[in-house]
Every structure is written in C-alpha cells, then in structure tokens.
Amino acid sequence: MTISDFFERNKPLESKKVFAGFSGGADSTALLLLLAEEADKRGFKLKAIHFEHGLRGNESICDANWCREFCEIRNIDYMKISLNVNAARHPGESTESAARRLRLREWEILAGNKSSLVALAHNANDKIENIFLRLLRGSNVSGLTSLREIQKIGTVTFIRPVLPYKRKEIEDFLRTHDVTDWRTDSSNAENRYRRNFFRNKIIPLISEKFPNADSSVLKSAHALEQDADFIEAVASGIFQSVKNRESIDTAYLKSMHPAILVRFLRYWISGKIKSDFIPDSEFMSRLNTELNRLFSRKSSDKQSVLLPLHGRSLFLCIKKENISFCKRAAKSTGEPQLCWKWESAVELRWRSLKLKSKTISGKTIPEFTRGENIVYLDAGLLPPELTVRNCRKGDVMVPFGKTARVHLKKLFESGKIPADRKKETPVVCTENGEIIWIPGVRRANFANIGSDTKRIAVLTSIDRNDNI
C-alpha cells in the first residue's frame, strides 16, 4: 500500500506544508504513516492535527493523548485543537454539521493559502457510504461524488490519498507496520447516526445479496465523477466571465440549464460570502418559483423578493431586471415588530394575545397538550432572541412534519382563519426571518425535540380576554 502514485499524478499540488487530520482511527493512522514516508522523499513539512470535539468525555481525552504519544514516538509534529461543538451549534443544526463547520473554520485558519494542503483519511468504504447517504438526500452528481481525491472548499485544498483503498486493506497495512492499537470511536456502534446505520446495517445486507456490490458502486462513482467534473468545468467557465459583477441579469440566469444554474450560484454566492455555499433543493425551488412568477405573463410585480442565504445576514435580492446581494431585509414602515427574549421575558403582549414561555427538563418527555396555541421546541436549538411581527406578503414556512415551504396564505386558508383574525395573528420567527410558529395556526418544522434534547421550550399563546 502506497500513496506515491497519488503525488506522482498530482505533481502541481506539491506543497511546502501538509496538515493531516489525525483522529487516531485506523484510516488516519495509516494516512499519517504514509505521509511521513512521502514527507522525507518529497521535502514537505508534515503536521498532525487532532480535533477534540468535547462530545465523548474521558474517551475523547484518551484518544487525544494516544495521538500525541503516537506522534512523539515517531517525531511527527502534533497539534490538538479543542472544539466545543454543542455550544457552537446553530438553531436547527445537527451535531455532525456543527462539527464539520467548526473543523472547516480551523482548517481555513491553518491552511487557507496556496502553499498548504489538508490531508483527510477517507477511504473507498466511506465513498460507498457517502453515495447512499447523498442519494437519499436528493443530491445531484456533484453531491453524490463529493468525496474526491482533490477538493477545494473555500480557500482550503483537501487531498484524500487513501481514497482508493478499502478499510480492510488499510487495517492490514497497519498490522504489517506493527500497529494494532489504533483508536475506535465507541459512537461508531450507535446506529442512531445515519452513516453508522448504513455502515453497520444496510451495506452488509446489500453485500450479502450482491457480493460484488462494493466494486460495482465504485465503478459507478467513477463514471458519475467524470460527469460531475464536466458539468462543473462548464459552469466554472461561465462564472469566470461574470464573477466580478455585483448583479447578474435575471433573464441570463433563467436561461441557464438547471444543472449549470445550481453550480453557477454556488460559485457566485460562495465567492461573495467567502465560504462554501451549496444551494439545496429547497433553495433552488424557492428561487425558481420567484423567477417563474416574475416572468409570467400575468406578472406586473416590480417589487424585489429577498431570499435568505440559510441563516446568514445576507440576502439575494431578486428583481425582474437583475439579481444582487443585500445585507438585510427592509422593514415595513410603521409595522409593529417586537424582540422576544423568551428565556428572560417569559410573557410578551401582542394586541389581544399574551405569548408565554417556560422551559422544562428534556429528561422526562411530558404528555403534550395538542393544539396550535402551544408548541414544544428543543430549547438548545432555539435562538435566544425571537422576532414577533405581522404576516407579510410572500411569507413562507416549512410546516411541522413537512419538508417543503408553504405560503402562509395557504395555511390561513386551510385553517379557515377569517381576515380580521389574520391581521391580529402574530408571526414568530428568528432574527434572520425564518418563521417558526404562527400561534393558533401552525408551527414549523424547526427545533424539533429528539432523544438528545436536554431542555424543552414551551411557548403558549393565550387570548388576553380569556379567563383561562
């Protein structure tokens, strides 16, 4: 087993410094040993980076100590970076997503320049698992083949030299080098994580029925990667011709093939926010809806539509003539809008309503009271400040139990809410404008309670004229 052929194929990538992600698992341990051999031959400086996520208590600390000792014995430069993943999670963000985001931030600090590379230890088994997981998320060919030998994300260039090798080959390599005590993350056995469920349950069943499944999936992955490379190259060429523009003609974007448009937007928006932005199906659906509306024969709407860029304070401003960026949504003049710090201000008055809040322990799930005047949310996923305002034209929300956005107008209609009550009904949303609850009407698919919920926020709407 060698990675010399990787560096021979990619000589333009040769760098002065290579940072290696080192968890202590079999994959990253083998990668570190192989990189140490290449560092001597090719003259680059190698540094092992261990992320301690603060999630597994003493086990995690023991892993970090093992990695440090492993590097000290072999005279490999070592650095531990501590992350507090749970404290840094955004509302609605999973633990895994928060951990990836924090690691990327650290990689950008360490290796965000042309003379450095970041080596990751993904292998062929990871590639197979990734295809299945991405397929179930509705990814395009770029998403299905997101694990590639070379990948640029933001300012960081990632390399995966052991991607062609299967997990068994990697473990056999370690044993031939007298390494048998690599670390095993106990959470890998917990099937509540989607990747573990596929690794431990689904893929073994497929392999049992289709013995050559691994090889076949990898062949398909190679073909899909070639398709993705071609489409991405075309989209990148189009983007390069207009990348310095602050606005793009709306008709020009609308004329693009959907496969090109989604990639063009990724390049354009990522360049603007200085971070990797992947337009998901929900984002593209909303954009296409607005574009179709603007260009419909009946449309005479000259107003702009603001499309939030996934929780950031930046918006896409969509007009019939062009699409540009703006910092924040314009507030309607004279429209009442209240800031609700629900943890300290346990009661808020809105016209004829009182909005009340309290928190309870998540250890004992209460017997929920059914109805749209009371909602139960994961307090850890709920931002400390909420905005309470009137319903606005064009407001949309993802209702609880659904995945697609629905116009509030339809929710009011389906709930048979009269016009006079609609004017009185508040809309509770995050500071970035994501609607999470319409008291008395519907709650959103947001901050849902799960098995790891520690505190539950109970939000209640009460008519001030009601004696209850």
Sign of CA dihedral 244, 247, 251, 256: positive
Q: How far is CA 168 from CA 126, 127, 164, in A?
A: 12, 14, 12
pLDDT of residue 366 exceeding 60, the answer is no
> Would the CATH topology of 4-214 be identical to that of 243-326?
no
Q: What is the pLDDT of residues 201-220, one digit of tens each?
A: 889 999 999 989 999 999 99
pLDDT of residue 467: 37
In a 3-state reduction of DSSP, which class is residue 74? coil
Is 90 or 221 the better-scoring residue by pLDDT? 221
Say if CB 38 and CB 7 are below 8 A apart. yes
β-partners of residue 48 are 20, 78
pLDDT tens digits along 33-79: 999 999 988 889 999 999 998 888 888 899 999 999 999 999 999 99
Distance of alpha carbon 142 from alpha carbon 267, whole angstroms? 13
CA 437 to CA 377: how far, in whole Å?
Answer: 10
Identify the band that residue 270 occupies on the pLDDT scale cut at 50, 70 and 90: confident
Q: Which residues pair with 51 in a beta bridge?
A: 81
Alpha-carbon gap, residue 320 to 323, rounded angstroms:
8
How is residue 369 annotated by DSSP?
Answer: P
AA letter at 436? I
Strand order in the sheet with 386-389: 337-340, 386-389, 427-430, 435-438, 442-443
* Mean per-residue pLDDT of the chain: 85
Task: Answer yes or no: are the C-beta atoms of 235 and 260 closer than 8 Å.
Answer: yes
Spatial separation of the C-alpha atoms in residues 465 and 468, rounded to whole Å:
9
Most confident region among 160-164, 313-317, 462-466 by mean pLDDT: 160-164
Contact assessment for residue 399 and residue 405, using Cβ atoms and an 8 Å cutoff:
no
* Whether residue 468 has pLDDT greater than 60: no
Tell me the DSSP string of 393-456. TT-EE-BTT--S-EEHHHHHHHTT--HHHHHH--EEEETTS-EEEETTTEEBS-S---TT--EE
- Which pLDDT score is estimated for 62? 93
Q: Which of 394, 397, 393 is nearest to 430 (CA)?
A: 397
Residue 365 has pLDDT above 90, yes or no: no
Cα maximum dimension of the chain: 81
Give the pTM: 0.66
Q: According to the model, what pLDDT value does residue 413 have?
A: 86
Pairing of strands 396-397, 406-407: antiparallel
The four Cα atoms 346, 335, 317, 422 give a dihedral, to 10 degrees, of 80
Residue 312 has pLDDT above 90, yes or no: no
Q: How confident is the model at residue 336 (pLDDT cuts 50, 70, 90)?
A: low
Is the confidence at residue 301, as pLDDT, over 70? no
Average pLDDT over residues 258-277: 88
HSE-CB of 293 using CA atoms within 13 angstroms: 14
Distance of alpha carbon 147 from alpha carbon 466, whole angstroms: 58
Task: State pLDDT tens for residues 398-442.
Answer: 898 887 888 888 888 887 777 767 777 889 998 767 899 999 899
Query: Any idea where the domains of the chain sit in the sequence?
Result: 4-214, 243-326, 337-463
DSSP states along 145-183: T---SEEEETTEEEE-TTTTS-HHHHHHHHHHTT-----
Kindly tell me if the per-residue pLDDT of 370 is higher than 80. no
How high is the pLDDT of residue 404? Answer: 80
- In this prediction, residue 101 carries a pLDDT of 86
Whether residue 256 has pLDDT greater than 90: yes
Higher-scoring residue by pLDDT: 415, 373 = 373
Q: What percent of the chain has pLDDT over 90?
A: 40
Which range among 90-99, 288-297, 399-408 has the greatest average pLDDT?
Answer: 399-408
Structural element, H or E, at residue 95: helix 95-111
Is-contact 249 294, C-beta < 8 A?
Answer: no
Question: What would the mean pLDDT of 148-164 be, rounded to a whole number?
Answer: 91
- pLDDT score of 283: 82
Q: Per-residue DSSP letters for 203-240?
A: HHHHHHH-TTHHHHHHHHHHHHHHHHHHHHHHHHHHHH
Note the CATH architecture for domain 243-326. 2-Layer Sandwich (3.30)
Instruction: Compute the distance between CA of residue 217 and CA of residue 222 in angstroms, rounded to an integer.
Output: 9
User: For residue 465, what pLDDT is reported?
Assistant: 47
31: left (phi over 0), alpha (psi -120 to 50) or beta: alpha
Amino acid at 220: S
Q: Which CATH number fits domain 4-214: 3.40.50.620, 3.30.470.20, 3.30.70.60, 2.40.30.10?
A: 3.40.50.620
Q: 16 or 127: whose pLDDT is higher?
A: 127
pLDDT tens column, 184-194: 887 777 776 67
- According to the model, what pLDDT value does residue 230 have? 96
pLDDT at 33: 96
Nearest alpha-carbon partner for 99 in 108, 111, 112, 86: 86
Query: Is the model's pLDDT at 258 over the cut of 90?
Result: yes
Query: How far apart are alpha carbons 299 and 250 in whole angstroms?
Result: 15
